[in-house]
Structure 1
Amino acid sequence: MNAAMQKKNEVLLAILEGQPVIPVLKIDRLADAVPLARALVKGGLPAIEITLRTPDAIDAIRLVSEEVPEAIVGAGTILTSKDFSYAVAAGARFIVSPGITQELLDAASMSEVPFLPGAATPSEVMAAREEGYSLLKFFPAEQSGGAPFLKALSSPLASIRFCPTGGVSPKNVHDYLSLPNVICVGGSWVAPDKAIEAGDWASIEALAREASGLKG
């Protein structure tokens, strides 16, 4: 592994080790981005993933990175090198993708911003490992076999650690966090759509505080 890749892995490791849950956010209204990020930071979850699933996502990343400096804003649902470039230009400090493509690997290799690619099979995990990645998103987690699947990977692929996302909830989060190869989880339950729509930042802060105290 080259020095640049090792440095990016270390930066990403520090972000993911900092909290048990990374909030996965879909911003439908740009005005919600800053107060939502502030509520999550106050609750102890400074690292957040804003997904590129809405038209305002890139602007939301830019606003949060400018106005909530204590937040560590990442960009999720990155599918192309263009997405990667736009997110980095907007201030994203880490990049998350549901899968792995050569186009994204090439974009990541030319960027100083760390990349968390998604994998759901042993072959995908091994391919990412060959490229120097030791931290991966496991997506879609529940639909791909959940915690038992990850537990089965922990022995043959012991050097890889995962952030499972997709179907992770308070009901099963301990199943994931108790595994030796899970570093954190990605979850949307800490920022429910109804609470965001209502501007109920206090309840989101409370959910974040509860999530920030989770242990395996």
Structure 2
Amino acid sequence: MLQIIYHKYKVLLEQAFLPIMVADGVDALFEVEAAVEAGFKAVEFTLRRPDARVMIPEIRKRFPDLLLMVGSVLDSPAVVKNLQHKHPQLMLPEELADCGVDGLISMLDFSDDTISRYRDDLLLMPAAATPAEGLRLFEKGAHFIKVITPYAATINSLTAAPSFNFAPLLVTGGMNLETIPDMVSRKVPLIASGFEVVAQGRADALSCKALAQKLRAFRQITCDSREKAFPGLTAILAENRLSDLPWALPVNWEI
């Protein structure tokens, strides 16, 4: 079973840049098609999109080999229940798992129950506002720790020498061709941005081919910057030497 989650983890790290389908009014299938055209193997779909209940199963059906991450996940049944009359697209982790998604991303943390229940099957990327929160989530079994750019001090603390760079970070928020190199230089291995950032406007103002070209540029600058920040990382991933990664593996994995 763990071989499946190993594969997802490696694919995401090799890709380095994760494009996000945000609530931009653009056809999600068009954005996915551009990502596939660009050679991407993973995308994120945010539950902020009102069409989530339709598009998540549709993307899963049309692109069965694509890693489909879902963002803006809340794992509190009581809170989700009380929000669904305003945001009917919201789904709890168990419903998303039933849809066949490959991972869960949140602006908040995940409960111990969510992490223990899904860590062997889904990539889990809860958010941390402090280094202590990041450590707690990682020791419970999260695979990546998400930090948004306003928490620059947290990013610096999590990647500082006294923290031993214990967990791989996913950073999002204002990540473009100009800001990605500096962020990656802080020892951040995974970057995410919305399609509207990649396209510098509405993604459907471009052709599929043009959008794919922009996606490749974002991935290339992330990969180039990361090889400077983590020399040899590309070879480690290519040779499947996960125990040689410059951070700790998830706590329930055997080294």
TM-score, with length taken from structure 2:
0.70
* Number of the residue aligned with 2:203: 195
Q: Alpha-carbon deviations, 1:156-211, whole Å to 9, x = none? A: 2221110101122211100122233x121011122555123x46322211111112
* Number of the residue aligned with 2:22: 26
* Number of the residue aligned with 1:184: 190
Tell which structure's C-alpha radius of gyration is larger. Answer: 2
Instruction: Name the CA distance, whole Å, in 2 between partners of 1:89 and 1:192.
Output: 34
Q: Alpha-carbon deviations, 1:130-149, whole Å to 9, x = none? A: 313352111x22x112xx65
Change (3 A) 1:71 1:192: farther
- Tell me if the contact between 2:93 and 2:114 (Cα under 8 Å) persists in the aligned partners: yes
Deviation at 1:115, TM superposition (A): 1.0
Residue 198 of structure 2 aligns to a residue in which SS? coil
Describe how 1:165-180 pairs up with structure 2 within 5 A: 165-180=172-187
Residue 202 of structure 2 aligns to a residue in which SS? helix
Describe how 1:119-134 pairs up with structure 2 within 5 A: 119-134=128-143
One-letter code aligned to 2:43: I
- Tell me if the contact between 2:37 and 2:212 (Cα under 8 Å) persists in the aligned partners: yes
Change (3 A) 1:85 1:29: farther
Deviation at 1:150, TM superposition (A): 2.4
Identity %: 24
* Number of the residue aligned with 1:156: 162
Change (3 A) 1:132 1:8: farther
* Number of the residue aligned with 2:95: 86
One-letter code aligned to 1:136: I
- Tell me if the contact between 2:21 and 2:31 (Cα under 8 Å) persists in the aligned partners: no
- Tell me if the contact between 1:48 and 1:72 (Cα under 8 Å) persists in the aligned partners: yes
| Worse-superposed segment, 11-20 or 84-93 | 11-20
One-letter code aligned to 2:212: E
Change (3 A) 1:8 1:97: farther
* Number of the residue aligned with 2:218: 211
* Number of the residue aligned with 1:43: 38
**Structure 1 gap segments, 5+ residues each:** none
Residue 69 of structure 2 aligns to a residue in which SS? strand
- Tell me if the contact between 2:38 and 2:216 (Cα under 8 Å) persists in the aligned partners: yes
One-letter code aligned to 1:71: L
Instruction: Name the CA distance, whole Å, in 2 between partners of 1:159 and 1:9.
Output: 19
**Structure 2 gap segments, 5+ residues each:** 77-90, 226-255
Change (3 A) 1:44 1:200: same
Change (3 A) 1:80 1:17: same
Residue 164 of structure 1 aligns to a residue in which SS? strand
Change (3 A) 1:64 1:21: same
